[in-house]
A and B are shown apart, each in its own frame.
Chain A
């Protein structure tokens, strides 16, 4: 009996330690000496380290902390969605100047809690609806326009003289899940590729998982052996496997959310040289500018803004690898297409309001 008690205590301890680890959040300490006057908190609906979406948000917070000298706190809420609401409520009850978060899960919560806490200010850096309350500033990204350009890059490169490319006009797309947030990337990608080359084929796979690089690698290897030479992946951690497959096959990938070639620059230069470019949402800039506006008292609360190429809220990475891989005449074409996007000369389809049949038709058209 004594043994059982002892065991259950130890077991409880392990369980406690395990859950403490998985939910652990490291809050940056406020700078000593100076008393920061402005306090901003970032609620991450997940954990940092995804090398794209959440890390970009964190980068914005760190930039604001070092350049504006404000007090910041980053709370990682983990993958257990039942913890989001209590955490959000706790934060709302505290004394913050700006509460920042984003994603589909959080957007609903923003709209609910902002009514309950009318004195707080909120910044939603990745909103999935344009409906906002009077104390929220919501930002959305023209992911479709962004991936339109990525699709153009892929379609231009796949029939070019870039080493390793076969003559076939076939490119690939790997999505984390078959959901609107991911398919917004897909529809833009397809249209962008089609506008460059009407004959283009797009191989489409979904990993059904955002943290399974093994699956990402298998899907990518399949697509490469199917004749696709450039794969764009919008699949979080699963995408790391896609990049690895690109290295293994000597073919090409397009990264997402942040400049993924730069991640490997120091540790795996060869892998970095297979990443043509990355489709970047300037999440860090949105957060940084939001905090800055909040400090000046000019944060446009009560409004929604869709950032696109026009606002430099989205863009593709033009790093040394892009320069090296892409021939000059193709780069010129990409620049021209980007200019058309900025000028609003291109109609890019969006998943918002698109009926399922139309999405299916788009996918079938490039099979």
Chain B
């Protein structure tokens, strides 16, 4: 019987870490972009779920996985723009708006699925398409590393590319600077001619776009069809990962990997002599620690803000 060490030395374990992390990383980066623009967007779970359904439907209708992916992206952006409209135009509390999006996606996705297929559970009756897996030439020949890095679904590589693109965008482009400026102090940004509303609209749309890729991964890569509530809390774990990352793109990605590792670990450890209940709490303990770090961070931020403000 293989031991724990064997498991950790097995490339397929590390491969599964990346596979489990992919949807979390998309959602965490999506949350980070709006956070940078000063909006606490908690609608990742709903956006992912809805995009997952949209991707399945569009790919089944067009018989093309890539057009399906575009459909998922459109759905994600649309949902985020809805949230943006409520938050920025109608001044709804963004948390309530996020809750509404999540509730809507939960029930609404089942409703739409039922209208189209007559089925309330899964989309197995739709002949939807799956995005291809990619074998990276040369790298797949490297022992161990090749087995871990090569052979993932295209979206896993897109996730890695997204991390670096967003890192670069926030750090070194005028748009990134504007987003950060609006997030830090929107009045100051506006005083130099940056439209805070426009930037926040844009960041929410980007956030929806990236979260939708996570959704598409669930129904068009990880699994070949949509099933109800299939995101199963990954959008919430992503929020915790973003919190643990404390606003840094690379740190958030690293935190997502920690959660992915915890989850993969929990899956694999069950086969050893550990009780399921104990192993099952690993991802949740990791989440709670993440959320504690987050609230500490908020508290410190409040203190800082409070200190810089002159008493009235």
Chain B residue contacts of A241, Cβ below 8 A: 223
A362 contacts chain B at the CB level, 8 A cutoff: no
Which one of B61-69, B91-99, B159-167 contacts A? B91-99
Chain B residue contacts of A3, Cβ below 8 A: 90-91
Q: A223 and B108: CB pair below 8 A? A: no
A7 contacts chain B at the CB level, 8 A cutoff: yes
Task: Considering the complex, give the chain B residue whose CB is closest to the CB of A364.
Answer: B273
With contacts A49-B119, A51-B121, A208-B280 taken as known, whether A217 is within 8 angstroms of B222 at the C-beta atoms is yes
With contacts A211-B232, A222-B16 taken as known, whether A10 is within 8 angstroms of B110 at the C-beta atoms is no
Q: B121 and A237: CB pair below 8 A? A: yes
B139 contacts chain A at the CB level, 8 A cutoff: no
Task: Considering the complex, give the chain A residue whose CB is closest to the CB of B118.
Answer: A49
Report the separation of the CA atoms of residues A79 and B297 in the bound assembly, to the nearest whole angstrom: 35
With contacts A217-B222, A226-B2 taken as known, whether A206 is within 8 angstroms of B228 at the C-beta atoms is no
A234 contacts chain B at the CB level, 8 A cutoff: no
Cβ distance B86 to chain A, nearest Cβ, rounded Å:
7
Within 8 Å by CB of A205, from B19, B234, B263, B270, lies: B270
Task: Considering the complex, give the chain B residue whose CB is closest to the CB of A266.
Answer: B125
B157 contacts chain A at the CB level, 8 A cutoff: no
Which one of A18-26, A286-294, A304-312 contacts B? A18-26
Chain B residue contacts of A266, Cβ below 8 A: 125
With contacts A11-B96, A222-B268 taken as known, whether A212 is within 8 angstroms of B104 at the C-beta atoms is no
A178 contacts chain B at the CB level, 8 A cutoff: yes
B136 contacts chain A at the CB level, 8 A cutoff: no
Q: B122 and A267: CB pair below 8 A? A: no
Within 8 A of B (CB), among A30-74: 47-51, 55
A203 contacts chain B at the CB level, 8 A cutoff: yes
Within 8 A of B (CB), among A218-260: 218-219, 221-223, 225-226, 237, 240-241, 244
Report the separation of the CA atoms of residues A49 and B113 in the bound assembly, to the nearest whole angstrom: 10
Q: B271 and A203: CB pair below 8 A? A: yes
B12 contacts chain A at the CB level, 8 A cutoff: yes
Q: B229 and A211: CB pair below 8 A? A: yes
Q: B267 and A14: CB pair below 8 A? A: no
Cβ distance A168 to chain B, nearest Cβ, rounded Å:
11
Within 8 Å by CB of B271, from A47, A215, A222, lies: A222
Cβ distance B112 to chain A, nearest Cβ, rounded Å:
9
Q: B232 and A209: CB pair below 8 A? A: yes
Chain A residue contacts of B126, Cβ below 8 A: 267
Chain B residue contacts of A23, Cβ below 8 A: 107
Cβ distance A27 to chain B, nearest Cβ, rounded Å:
14
A117 contacts chain B at the CB level, 8 A cutoff: no
Task: Considering the complex, give the chain B residue whose CB is closest to the CB of A7.
Answer: B90
Q: A49 and B121: CB pair below 8 A? A: yes
Task: Considering the complex, give the chain B residue whose CB is closest to the CB of A78.
Answer: B107
Chain B residue contacts of A263, Cβ below 8 A: 124
Q: A19 and B267: CB pair below 8 A? A: no
Q: A240 and B100: CB pair below 8 A? A: no
Residue pairs across A and B with Cβ atoms less than 8 A apart, 12 shown, are: A7-B92, A11-B92, A11-B100, A17-B104, A22-B106, A22-B110, A50-B121, A208-B280, A218-B267, A222-B16, A222-B268, A240-B124
3 residue pairs, one from A and one from B, having the closest CB atoms: A49-B121, A49-B120, A22-B107
